[in-house]
């Protein structure tokens, strides 16, 4: 088997068909990244810089690049011919199918979102395991002073012929994971993978009004394909939303329902109170004479500021009154004109008949008309 040629395109991180300007730009970026002066004289950086300079000497000269491309293409062709030889008649009859880029797998995550965030919409930061280009080898997977060579299995194409049925098809090369090159001596930091594990921090927008069980898609935040960026696009991240209940708020379409306790004296006299919303407290006016379950409307304080917030009043009565407090309340009530209590006045007019009806009803039920403290 012929010796695999060096893969100078991989050293500069450009595709085989890159034009002269792309080559020049890639060389300058990598040379600046690995220049010894920019790395405090680090020996590994200096060795990597020399390899980059070698790649530029070949690819930056049109004549030398043409010779190199011919050698590389000849090697790839011989490897392809060897792979197709086994197919013989079938491949000549049916041909070989092109390989479609393979995307990475999708990832799934369950995210618990409080009701307040559902009402106003928000952003959440999630952390996921990921990987990034190795800082020590720049993604080549080789030791600092080593030059990656074209993969012997695929001839540098990044794909090989497979025959799952009668017709052959191109599939990702398992030897080089679709990169088209392999390190002779692997990078110690990434073990030749060209990528190192990291924790990925994603800012996920939570749209106002998101529902329980709804899924949110973050494009390109899934797993890398087997061949890294050379194998195809990344998968997606699918987030399933679980809404955490909150005793303060209930979402009804685009409206928000909130219950607010109000002391009986304020309900009678009226006044201002602070009401909680998903954005903080706001002051509202309670009309005098408010009753249990009356509703106050906060226009524009609903889901996404599109709907409204409905404040249901719950009248709170005092408890554990002292004797002086009871006497004070009795005196206050007796000082009010009877007309302030029209229903009580009406009931008083029919007290006799009401007492008789109540007594007869209790007798029928076998009850005694006692009042227990």
Hey, how many other C-beta atoms are within 10 angstroms of the C-beta on 68?
Answer: 18
pTM for the structure as a whole: 0.66
Burial class (CB in 10 A: 0-12, 13-18, 19+), 50: middle
CA distance 23 to 13: 9
Reported as a pLDDT band with limits 50, 70 and 90, residue 372 is: very low
Please, are residues 97 and 168 in contact by the beta-carbon 8 Å criterion? yes
Residue with tokens 């299995």: 153
Domain spanning 8-244 has what CATH number? 1.10.287.110
How does pLDDT run across 157-190, given as a tens digit for each residue? 777 777 555 556 777 787 787 788 888 788 888 8
Hey, how many other C-beta atoms are within 10 angstroms of the C-beta on 77?
Answer: 12
Going from the C-alpha of 216 to that of each of 103, 205, 331, the distances in angstroms are 19, 9, 62
CA angle 171, 173, 179 (to 5 degrees): 115
CA distance 306 to 183: 58
What are the boundaries of each domain within the chain? 8-244, 250-316, 323-364
Q: Is residue 307 scored above 90 in pLDDT?
A: yes
Name which of 139, 278, 143 is nearest 195 in CA terms. Answer: 139
The fold of the 250-316 domain, in CATH, is: HSP40/DNAj peptide-binding domain (2.60.260)
- Report the relative pairing of strands 271-277 and 159-162 from DSSP bridges: unpaired
Mean pLDDT over all residues of the chain? Answer: 82
Reported as a pLDDT band with limits 50, 70 and 90, residue 18 is: confident
CA distance 14 to 62: 16
Q: Is residue 9 scored above 90 in pLDDT?
A: no
pLDDT at 115: 95
Question: Which of 10-19, 128-137, 277-286, 348-357 is predicted least confidently?
Answer: 348-357
């Amino acid at each position: 088997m012929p010796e695999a040629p060096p893969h100078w395109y991989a050293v500069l991180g450009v595709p085989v068909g890159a034009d002269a300007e792309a080559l020049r730009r890639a060389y300058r970026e990598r040379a600046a990244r690995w220049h010894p002066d920019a790395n405090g004289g680090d020996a590994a950086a200096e060795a990597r810089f020399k390899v980059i300079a070698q790649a530029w000497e070949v690819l930056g000269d049109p004549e030398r690049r043409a010779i190199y491309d011919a050698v590389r293409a000849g090697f790839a062709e011989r490897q392809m011919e060897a792979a197709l030889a086994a197919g013989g008649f079938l491949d000549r009859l049916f041909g070989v199918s092109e390989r479609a880029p393979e995307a990475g797998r999708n990832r799934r995550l369950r995210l618990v979102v409080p009701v307040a965030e559902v009402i106003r919409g928000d952003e959440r930061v999630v952390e996921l395991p990921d990987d990034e280009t190795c800082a020590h080898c720049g993604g080549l997977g080789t030791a600092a002073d080593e030059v990656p060579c074209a993969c012997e299995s695929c001839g540098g194409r990044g794909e090989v012929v497979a025959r799952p049925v009668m017709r052959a098809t191109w599939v990702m090369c398992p030897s080089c994971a679709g990169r088209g090159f392999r390190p002779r001596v692997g990078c110690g930091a990434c073990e030749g993978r060209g990528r190192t594990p990291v924790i990925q921090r994603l800012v996920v927008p939570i749209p106002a009004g998101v529902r329980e069980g709804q899924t949110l898609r973050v494009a390109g935040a899934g797993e890398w394909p087997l061949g890294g960026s050379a194998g195809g696009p990344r998968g997606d991240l699918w987030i399933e939303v679980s809404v955490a209940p909150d005793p303060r708020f209930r979402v009804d379409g685009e409206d928000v329902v909130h219950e607010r306790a109000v002391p009986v004296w304020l309900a009678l006299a009226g006044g201002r109170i602070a009401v909680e919303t998903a954005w903080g407290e706001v002051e509202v006016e309670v009309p005098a004479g408010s009753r249990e379950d009356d509703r106050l409307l906060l226009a524009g304080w609903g889901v996404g500021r599109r709907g409204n917030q409905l404040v249901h009043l719950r009248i709170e009565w005092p408890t554990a009154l002292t004797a002086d407090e009871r006497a004070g309340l009795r005196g206050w009530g007796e000082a009010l004109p009877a007309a302030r209590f029209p229903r009580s006045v009406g009931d008083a007019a029919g007290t006799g008949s009401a007492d008789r009806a109540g007594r007869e009803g209790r007798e029928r039920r076998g009850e005694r008309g006692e009042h227990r403290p």
